[in-house]
Chain A
Amino acid sequence: MPFNSIPAKDFINRERELAYLKLLTEVRDRAIADNILLQGPRGIGKTELLKQFYRTVFWEEKKVLPFYYSFQKATLKASYFAKDYLTRFVRQYLAYVKKNPSFIDSMGTPLVGLMPDFSSLRLDWLINLIEDFQSLLKDGDTYEQILAAISAPVTTARESGMPVIIMLDDFPMAAHLYETNQGDAPGLMSLFEGPMKTSICPHVLTGSPDGLLESIFADNAFRGKAERMFIKELPEDAAQTLFGSLCDKLGVRNDREASLSFVRLLEGNPLYIRNMAKAIWKMNKKEISEKDLWEGYGFEVSEGETAFYWSSVLGEFLADPGLLKVAVDLLMHMTKSGSRSNDFPRLSRVLGIPESSLRSAFDGLKMAGIVQGTGDAGPLRDGVLKDFIQSRYMRDTEGKSPERVRELIGAKYYPVRDAGASFAMTIPMVPDAELVVAKAFEQIGKNIRMDPEVVKQIQLALIESCINAFEHSGSYEKEVFIKVTTSRTRLEIVTESPGKFFDPEKAEEPDIEEKLHAENKRGWGLRLMKKIMDEVKVERMGDNTRVILIKNIASDEVLK
């Protein structure tokens, strides 16, 4: 519903984009292209921008008609789509002419029931259009029905002399229009090309970058007639302002300092910011501490509106619960391993999931725009989506209770109650002494509730750091000093020993292919430390070499 949008005053930091879209209403001597494609990640505000634009045109323009249509999976069957598209167009036309939005909402009344209104407005051409469509319905020719529906705004623009701005939300879904069975009519989307080439019907489309859209817009006929507008995330100050103003409105007292890192995690995504503000309000607390924010976040991404949003997106493209679980396992694996490959035979072996299921799940994720359509899957970049996937994985694959999942997600960002702790020890340079440190770290990991798998990886880096100290020591003092410092957001491991300095920047990067055939297959220590930790620093302290390993806990795996 185009009027189902947030109040204009809360629609912040999109003024420039809105002003640019308004140029579309100046049909003659238009300075911009006839069609605009709004692109950007899910939740970034493309739909909201489109609705705000609709509302502006609806109330402010006297001779430009806005038409908004949102593609839905339920109406992708061509015959349903044609009827739905035409009905919504006719209702929005009537609502605009009468300046009464209630006509848009009353979808229950059949079109023929609106005939008296059309007669009183002397819209004979519209009556003819509807009657022609009714005949096509009787004939059962879906191709003609869809063509008639899509052409209705163009006919209206010509008959009424009023340009129609056609706003198609989630346009890539049009690629999945079908006649009888899904995939049986891949070319139906191309029917939109006709209206798009008509300058009296400028189009505004939303969609994520997609090969299909690219190919349409690469068509010679569209050159100069279409342009892309990328909707970016809100800058940090605007995101903070939006979150603050929503909290104020909901009567939640929020400490700006405490919410800084919280809002930063939401990456300027207006949908997340709104959902999180509501989630915090639902906690029913007058004053919100930093810990409350993260607890609210844990709830929101595992059970709240954000979880519902992503569940709906996934459910739309992966309706089979078994396949959905495969998709979650696959995404979890990609996220954890940083894997960028779609090597399905290998993934099948590692995950113990049939290759065919992995391929189907991947296709669904591709359609949902969660993974790239090319051969490169890439890890998830959206931190909130990553946490949602992790919560689903913990619930569905690991069988954890909702309470536990919520707690674990929240604890990921607010792990320990105390300010931090330091543990120090000195070990002799004797074989396997590094295991003593690794074992000690296992307990430190438990103390700070770190995911055992993350602990295991850090143990690997720690072992390497110790071995490095043993091997580079040229001193008679055969001891290595180790200090582990933990805080709420950071883990720091210092290994200090007398010995030769080595510059990590100058160290050669081992190449697996070369190493495989080389006589000396060693030299993986630094690479391992760098891959596992967020930062590896090497400093010279007098005669000692100090290696500092840093892991940012907030961006890491859930702490348990």
Chain B
Amino acid sequence: MREMNFTVTSKTITDTAVLYPRGYLNNIAGESLVRECNAYIEKGIKKMVVNLGGIEFINSIGISLLLSVIERLNNCGGTLCLTNISTSYNETFEMLGLTKYMLVFKSEEEALKHLNAAGGK
């Protein structure tokens, strides 16, 4: 049941990893997202775009695991961008203060354009 509720796929575009979590972002799902991000960081990729378009539900544990990704990227001078986020989740992230530590874009293309223009970081 748990596997059915969450999947994460990813790809790299030049020096950026783009991740596509789908389903319910809870503890188990959040951990697999963290693992996926960590694997890229270990390979030296510091720019991450997480496309949340496929996220149906999210809970507070999933949110705390997103914080882990932010912390890890902050420590290595990386950047986390969220894209395709629903209005209500964006509002929730704003309410909790998360948007101060990551960049939110309407689309994946806009995030990639920004990261590309930002250069090294």
Binding site for B on A (CB under 8 A): 336-339, 346, 349-352, 431-432, 434-435, 438, 453-454, 456-457, 459-460, 463-464, 467, 512, 515-517, 521-525, 527-528, 531-532
Contacts and interface: CB of A to CB of B under 8 A. Distances in A.
B58 A460 contact: yes
**Closest A-B pairs by Cβ, 4 of them:** A521-B64, A456-B88, A524-B60, A512-B97
B104 A457 contact: no
Given A349-B110, A350-B106, A435-B57, A512 B92 contact: no
B105 A528 contact: no
Interface of B: 1-2, 5, 24, 26, 28, 57-61, 63-65, 67-68, 70-71, 74, 86-92, 94-101, 103-107, 110, 114
A364 to B, nearest CB: 23
16 contacts: A336-B91, A346-B103, A349-B104, A432-B2, A438-B57, A454-B88, A459-B57, A460-B58, A512-B100, A521-B64, A521-B65, A521-B68, A522-B60, A524-B60, A524-B64, A524-B96
A60 B104 CA distance: 63
Contacts of B5: 432, 435
B57 A352 contact: no
Contacts of A453: 86-88, 91
A164 to B, nearest CB: 53
Given A464-B60, A521-B65, A457 B105 contact: no
A528 B92 CA distance: 8
A23 to B, nearest CB: 49
A163 to B, nearest CB: 55
B24 A435 contact: yes
Given A346-B103, A350-B106, 6 more contacts: A337-B94, A337-B95, A351-B106, A435-B5, A460-B59, A515-B64
B96 A512 contact: yes
Contacts of A464: 59-60
Given A338-B94, A352-B110, A456 B59 contact: no
A523 B59 CA distance: 11
B63 A524 contact: yes
A340 to B, nearest CB: 10
Contact of A339 (B71, B87, B94, B106): B94
Given A352-B110, A457-B91, A527 B71 contact: no
- Residue of A432, A453, A523, A532 contacting most chain B CB atoms (<10 Å): A432
B29 to A, nearest CB: 10
Contacts of A532: 92, 95
Given A431-B1, A516-B71, A467 B59 contact: yes
Contacts of B97: 512
A339 B96 CA distance: 11
Nearest to A522: B64
B92 A521 contact: no
Nearest to B83: A349
A470 B89 CA distance: 23
Contacts of A346: 99, 103-104
B60 A337 contact: no
A216 B89 CA distance: 45
Given A336-B87, A352-B110, A521-B64, A516 B101 contact: yes
B61 A516 contact: no
Contacts of A525: 60
B4 to A, nearest CB: 9
Given A349-B110, A463-B59, A522-B60, A527 B96 contact: yes
Nearest to B86: A456
B114 to A, nearest CB: 7
A312 B71 CA distance: 48
Contacts of A463: 57, 59
Contacts of A531: 92, 95-96
Nearest to B87: A453
Nearest to A352: B106
Contacts of B88: 453-454, 456-457, 460
A516 B114 CA distance: 24
A432 B59 contact: no
A438 to B, nearest CB: 6
Contacts of B58: 460
